[in-house]
Chain A
Amino acid sequence: MAATVDVIERTSEPPRLRVGSRLRLVYGYREILLNLVRKELKVKYTASVLGAVWSLLNPVVFLAVFTFVVKVTGNSFPWYAVYLLSGLLAWNFFSVSLTTGARSVIDNANLVKKVYFPHEVLPLSSIGVALVDFALQTAVLVLFLVLSGYGFHLRELPLYPLAFATLVVFTLAMTFWLAALNVRYRDVQHLLNIGLLVWFWFTPIVYAGFVVEQELGKHPVFGVNPWNVFVANPLASIIFGFQRALYAIVQPAGQSKPVLPDVSLAWLAGVLALVLVGSLLFLLYTWRTFFDLSGDFAEEL
């Protein structure tokens, strides 16, 4: 049941975010979260003939276009579809969560102004919806892996949950942050669209990560290998994780160069763990920002 706390005090001071009790409170309101996700999915697909098929269409079209492009430009490599999809699905989850999450508080202004509930459920529900799409698309990818005979690489597969966990935490952190800031500065959502476009191309999803590693390594800037800057993009490491877990082959037979960055599995796991810890700290920060600002949402909208 909600509001299990017996005595609640409300003052002008935004109370300090206490993660444990706040989590319990949000958990107490989980029914709202579930209902919002259900609602979003229903509204999204209710008046469309194809329904959930639409969410599968996006990666399929992407796949068709980019298979064509890399064929034409001669940058193709074996099992390109698996390579592209393993990274693209993760990216889609990230970018959809951010774009819908950033708008989540504004789009639900009538709720925020009329009903009391922990506002965290709004960005959380955006992520929830994106997660459902991600699961659907992943199911199709898994089916494709099985049917095409590509199969799974059991040695690399354990990287998947780690990459996934890191992705979710980083997405959470970003979404909380953007949702809160967007209430005050509507620029955020416009900035976000441009930012995501740039970010997408700075993340090795459609092209091979190794090529970047190699090329950047040739041109040090002030004695620093730009590759190190490139992989400081947390999403790059996360995508590498997904690709390594599913595509798995660093250098396909008959290729002159590797496709994935040529690092050991342990090394990549270590990097991911580091990004995960960093994302958790980032989440703590953005959650606090969200929490502090959320008391004024009803007024700002």
Chain B
Amino acid sequence: MSSAIEIADVSKRFRLFREKPTSLKARLLTSRSRAEDFWALRDVSVDVRQGSSLGLIGHNGSGKTTLLKIVAGILRPTSGLVRQRGRLAALLELGAGFHPELTGKENVYLNASFLGLSRKETDAAYDAIVDFAEIEDFMENQVKFYSSGMLVRLGFAVAVHVDPEILLIDEVLAVGDEAFQAKCLDRIRRFQRDGRTIVLVTHALDVVRDICDRAVMLHHGRVHAFGAPDDVVREMRYVLLGAVDASFVPEEGTREAEVEAVELIRANGSGDGPVLRDDPLTILVDVRTNAPVGDLDVDFEILDGATNHPVLDARTSRAGTLIERFDGKKRVRFRIASFPYNAGKYWVTIGLSSRETGHLYHVQTQRYLFEVVDVPRVQERVDVPVEVDVEDL
């Protein structure tokens, strides 16, 4: 299998002018030195195999979109090289190339031509496009009267019908209602089955884990992590979150009872900062019920951030604490006498389940992140036996 896209040592510098001189006068009067350099990308090398799906993640401003634009040929790299094999369609913004004064139908033709379809090919695909977008009643209306949802539908419908060998998608799945999103994801999976190459930029980390077979995380313009989506997504959470952003936590369960808050109390009583190795640690879980729960079991699991292996877990029932039937709020404290593991990052997963059946009420995977540091020990005088021997030379 050869590469569909080779990105080799690509860097991109933007010149930031405090005020961009767009007139001759300003250009003459402004010295070039007032421009500040901003490196949006630094020595980025990524190889996208033919038929693979790459997820590109990173926080806002990490360079994802810049990289995608360079691959699409919209921006020129400052240094480095991009090699592309096969026809490429880029969906950088839904409805880019839509004109408000034209009707939906005319816009389909306009938009399709930007993605490389001829009039004849668009004719052939037109019915399928309208069908996919599900807005046939509005195709003769001017697009300026469309809702954003309708624009999204039409834009994506056109894009998935252009039949590219390489499809670049930037953050466009975030829009549209759930049913349509599901339809789009379905279409993307079909692209994958057809052996096409996909590069997907998104903030929806679950989509990356779901769809992609490789992921790249960009951080301040550099490749911070590259590999299996699960690993990269985890790395992304590290960097992204000093504290865990609940919206990024994968959740499951039927929610008769819910995890309301999770706190980690360090030895000094504070709720944040690094945990010293061998220090005691208290995990505090606030639980709220939505319906009376009679057999609640609360458990936690601590995972090594580097390997994602569990290192420690506990469960209220196993510890002999049976929570009675209740409706309302309860606080559970797990006191860990000392946390003996190596310095590094650790995840806490919290689970609420049924003691009897094991049924999951609510599980928050990797809900909490904390860091363990080695204790800087004071050097003290200790008696260490010293052996002596002398030999002839």
Q: Residues of A at under 8 Å CB distance from B? A: 1-3, 6-12, 14, 29, 31-32, 34-36, 38-39, 42-43, 46-47, 110-117, 184-187, 295-296, 298-299
> Closest A-chain residue to B75, C-beta based?
A298
Within 8 A of A (CB), among B92-124: 92-93, 96-97, 99, 101-102, 106, 109-110, 113-119, 121
Contact B76 A12 (CB under 8 A): yes
> Closest A-chain residue to B112, C-beta based?
A31
B contact residues around A36 at 8 Å (CB)? 110
Contact A31 B23 (CB under 8 A): no
Within 8 A of A (CB), among B31-56: none
Contact B80 A31 (CB under 8 A): no
Contact A12 B70 (CB under 8 A): no
Contact A39 B14 (CB under 8 A): no
Q: With A and B bound together, what is the CA distance between A298 and B74 in angstroms?
A: 6
A1 and B99 in contact (CB under 8 A), knowing A7-B84, A10-B76, A116-B73? Answer: no
> Closest A-chain residue to B72, C-beta based?
A116
B contact residues around A2 at 8 Å (CB)? 87, 116
Contact B96 A31 (CB under 8 A): no
Contact B102 A295 (CB under 8 A): no
Contact B90 A39 (CB under 8 A): no
Contact of B118 among A1, A6, A43 (CB under 8 A): A1
Q: With A and B bound together, what is the CA distance between A117 and B114 in angstroms?
A: 7
Most buried by B among A1, A114, A185, A186: A114
Give the 10 A-B residue pairs with the shortest CB-CB distance, closest first.
Answer: A114-B96, A2-B116, A31-B113, A295-B76, A116-B73, A10-B82, A43-B101, A35-B110, A32-B113, A8-B84
Interface size of B by CB at 8 A reads 45
A contact residues around B90 at 8 Å (CB)? 115-116
B contact residues around A8 at 8 Å (CB)? 73, 83-84
A185 and B23 in contact (CB under 8 A), knowing A9-B81, A11-B80? Answer: yes
B contact residues around A1 at 8 Å (CB)? 87, 116, 118, 121
Contact A12 B77 (CB under 8 A): yes
Contact of B96 among A10, A111, A184, A296 (CB under 8 A): A111
Q: With A and B bound together, what is the CA distance between A35 and B69 in angstroms?
A: 24
Contact B85 A113 (CB under 8 A): no
Convert B10-44 into 0s and 1s, putting 1 for each residue whose CB lies closer than 8 angstroms to a CB of A. 00001000000011110100000000000000000
Given contacts A10-B70, A10-B82, A29-B113, 15 further A-B contacts (CB under 8 A): A6-B86, A8-B83, A10-B76, A11-B77, A29-B116, A31-B117, A35-B110, A36-B110, A47-B101, A114-B96, A114-B97, A117-B114, A187-B23, A298-B69, A298-B75
Q: With A and B bound together, what is the CA distance between A111 and B96 in angstroms?
A: 6
Contact of B85 among A6, A14, A39, A295 (CB under 8 A): A6
In the complex, what's the smallest C-beta–C-beta distance from B61 to chain A, in angstroms? 16
Contact A115 B22 (CB under 8 A): no
A185 and B77 in contact (CB under 8 A), knowing A111-B96, A111-B114? Answer: no
B contact residues around A117 at 8 Å (CB)? 114
Q: Does B148 contact A (CB under 8 A)?
A: no
Q: With A and B bound together, what is the CA distance between A7 and B84 in angstroms?
A: 6
Q: Residues of B at under 8 Å CB distance from A? A: 14, 22-25, 27, 69-88, 90, 92-93, 96-97, 99, 101-102, 106, 109-110, 113-119, 121
Q: With A and B bound together, what is the CA distance between A266 and B23 in angstroms?
A: 45
B contact residues around A10 at 8 Å (CB)? 70-71, 73, 76-77, 81-84
A contact residues around B73 at 8 Å (CB)? 8, 10, 116
In the complex, what's the smallest C-beta–C-beta distance from A75 to chain B, in angstroms? 39
Q: With A and B bound together, what is the CA distance between A187 and B74 in angstroms?
A: 25
Q: With A and B bound together, what is the CA distance between A114 and B80 in angstroms?
A: 22
In the complex, what's the smallest C-beta–C-beta distance from B231 to chain A, in angstroms? 29
Contact B24 A187 (CB under 8 A): yes
A32 and B87 in contact (CB under 8 A), knowing A46-B101, A295-B76? Answer: no
Contact B113 A42 (CB under 8 A): no
Q: List 8 A-B contacts (CB under 8 A).
A: A3-B88, A114-B74, A115-B92, A116-B74, A116-B90, A184-B27, A186-B23, A296-B76
Contact A115 B114 (CB under 8 A): yes
> Closest B-chain residue to A33, C-beta based?
B113
Q: With A and B bound together, what is the CA distance between A31 and B114 in angstroms?
A: 8
Q: With A and B bound together, what is the CA distance between A282 and B72 in angstroms?
A: 31
Q: With A and B bound together, what is the CA distance between A263 and B210 in angstroms?
A: 78
In the complex, what's the smallest C-beta–C-beta distance from B19 to chain A, in angstroms? 13
Q: With A and B bound together, what is the CA distance between A115 and B170 in angstroms?
A: 12
Q: With A and B bound together, what is the CA distance between A112 and B74 in angstroms?
A: 7
Q: With A and B bound together, what is the CA distance between A299 and B99 in angstroms?
A: 22
Q: With A and B bound together, what is the CA distance between A116 and B117 in angstroms?
A: 13
> Closest A-chain residue to B99, C-beta based?
A39
In the complex, what's the smallest C-beta–C-beta distance from A70 to chain B, in angstroms? 39
A12 and B96 in contact (CB under 8 A), knowing A3-B87, A6-B85, A35-B109? Answer: no
Most buried by B among A6, A14, A185: A185
Q: With A and B bound together, what is the CA distance between A82 and B203 in angstroms?
A: 65
A35 and B113 in contact (CB under 8 A), knowing A14-B76, A42-B106, A111-B96? Answer: yes
In the complex, what's the smallest C-beta–C-beta distance from A40 to chain B, in angstroms? 9
> Closest B-chain residue to A31, C-beta based?
B113
Q: With A and B bound together, what is the CA distance between A245 and B86 in angstroms?
A: 50
A contact residues around B22 at 8 Å (CB)? 184-186
Q: With A and B bound together, what is the CA distance between A295 and B106 in angstroms?
A: 29
Q: With A and B bound together, what is the CA distance between A189 and B99 in angstroms?
A: 24
Q: With A and B bound together, what is the CA distance between A123 and B33 in angstroms?
A: 33
B contact residues around A112 at 8 Å (CB)? 74
In the complex, what's the smallest C-beta–C-beta distance from B232 to chain A, in angstroms? 25
Q: With A and B bound together, what is the CA distance between A46 and B77 in angstroms?
A: 41
> Closest A-chain residue to B120, C-beta based?
A31
Contact A3 B97 (CB under 8 A): no
Contact of A114 among B78, B93, B102 (CB under 8 A): B93
